Structure 1
Amino acid sequence: MNPTAVSAKARFIPLQKSYYPILLASFVAVFLISNILATKGVEIGPLITDGAFFLFPISYVIGDVLAECYGFTATRRAIWTSFVVTVLAVLAFYVAIWLPPASFYSGQVEFEMVLGLVPQIVVASLVGYIVGQLLNSYVLVAIKKRTGEKSLWARLLGSTVVGEFGDTLLFCLIAAPVIGITTAGELGNFVVVGFLWKTLLEIALLPLTYAVIRWVKKAEGY
């Protein structure tokens, strides 16, 4: 065989078999979509929240799986990846809005309404997300270092309470004026409802979180 032909053969970097990339992609997608949904204020009876209330808690479920299975460093990488991707998306939205619409395009106003994310909302979401997710993963890993593999429920609940409270409080304080919340009572309602809803939803999803963690650990040969 010709040595030159062998050396010229195409080569590729082999992929490592892991579910981390899938969880990372899901993590990024949930956060990005939630940022768009959160621009809508939602009022259900006496409850005041935003349009991402039903989706955003899923990011904490995925964050719990990442922290429990892969550790704080890997989870922190996923958090910052989501942050960068969302910033890039927001910049792309603004550029697309700024570009002159074609003469046959009649949806410019609607396009701006949906994707013209208010800077204050974006800042609120990013600040709350970074602080909340870092707290969530840090607390979970810190508890795990003390308990080992035991008491998974304790670290899931403990990290959720700390992370969701930090996230919700910061987001609500920064975003409330833009959403239309002006009184202390409405702000308190916004914070309490958001925190309780997200926390209770995560508690309700604990069986799913347990199942995913068990499956990932088994699949990764933990």
Structure 2
Amino acid sequence: MNLDRRMQLFVVLAAVFVTSLVVGDLIGVKLFEVHVGSVVAVMSIGMLPFPVTFLLTDILNEFYGKKAARYVTWVGFFMAIFAYTVIAIAVQVPWAPLTRAPDFKGTVESAFNNVFAGSQRILVASMMAYLVGQFADITIFNLLKRTTNNRLLWLRATGSTLVSQLIDTTVVQFVAWTGVLPTATIFSIIYTSYIVKLLIAVGLTPFIYLGHGIVERKLGIKPVVLGADGEPLPESTEPVSVSVASN
């Protein structure tokens, strides 16, 4: 079975997006510091895949439209639930007695639970913030694309991210750390995390244009063009074809 380039790209984008989402949730229990001038940003390492998801959401919106972007958003959500379920079961499964031996060199119960049981709370927080943030991003992206008559790529890409990430950052940090960290610390994490995300969003602008150029010129895939009603114009919604080779 031969898949056309449009379908191949969609599968790759969706796979990398979902992987980035789930990995970000799993590693989110680790906090680190970013020094931006005199500002010290305390952040979750879960934002490490943020630039990847930012670029992928933009490309999905631009080349496949809001329905495809929302579809991938739901797929990512249910994969996060699947990951949460598997981790919850793994935490509850009894450990082998040999792991409690003093000379055992592998991973022990306390270390495993400290990381993965903690990740369960991060996963819940992330899933709540993820849906709200993603749908806000998709809606604002398409609104800006329509109001600018499909021009000003930088505006819709960056503008949608600035709003959606403010929502996402606020929700995920409060759900993840309430009762664990002082409220003042949570607000500090939200503020500093958002500042760093703003800088990343602006810094990624050249890469957005680069990615669009590669998809259009190298792969020959055209962006979706929105009409005045916000729906894709017929000529911009070329069908995805699947050809089956037979001997």
With normalisation by structure 1, the TM-score equals: 0.85
> Aligned letter for 2:209?
Y
Matched, 1:77 2:71: yes
> Aligned letter for 1:160?
T
Residues matched between the structures, number:
208
Residue 199 of structure 1 is matched in structure 2 by 198
Matches within 5 A, 1:1-222: 14-18=2-6, 19-44=9-34, 46-105=40-99, 106-107=106-107, 108-177=109-178, 180-184=180-184, 186-218=185-217, 219-222=219-222
CA deviation vs aligned residue, 1:149-181 (integer Å, no higher than 9, x gap): 311111112101111111111112212225x42
Partner-residue secondary structure (3-state), 1:52: helix
Partner-residue secondary structure (3-state), 1:162: helix
> Aligned letter for 1:27?
F
> Aligned letter for 1:15?
L
Alignment identity in percent? 25
Q: State how far apart, in whole Å, the 2-side matches of 1:92 and 1:220 are.
A: 40
8 A Cα contact 1:137 1:159, kept in partner: yes
Q: State how far apart, in whole Å, the 1-side matches of 2:138 and 2:2 are.
A: 30
User: What displacement does 1:56 show?
Assistant: 2.4
What is the RMSD of the two structures over their aligned residues, measured on CA atoms?
2.0
User: What displacement does 1:113 show?
Assistant: 2.3
Q: State how far apart, in whole Å, the 2-side matches of 1:104 and 1:217 are.
A: 57
User: What displacement does 1:44 show?
Assistant: 4.9
CA deviation vs aligned residue, 1:12-64 (integer Å, no higher than 9, x gap): x6534320110000100111010012112334564221122332242122111
User: What displacement does 1:119 show?
Assistant: 4.1
Q: State how far apart, in whole Å, the 1-side matches of 2:69 and 2:132 are.
A: 13
Unaligned runs of 5+ residues in structure 2 are 100-105, 223-247
8 A Cα contact 2:51 2:204, kept in partner: no
Residue 10 of structure 1 is matched in structure 2 by none
> Aligned letter for 1:194?
S
Partner-residue secondary structure (3-state), 2:210: helix
Partner-residue secondary structure (3-state), 1:49: strand
8 A Cα contact 1:69 1:217, kept in partner: no
> Aligned letter for 2:183?
T
Partner-residue secondary structure (3-state), 1:23: helix
Partner-residue secondary structure (3-state), 1:42: strand
8 A Cα contact 1:60 1:133, kept in partner: no
8 A Cα contact 1:132 1:166, kept in partner: yes
Residue 8 of structure 1 is matched in structure 2 by none
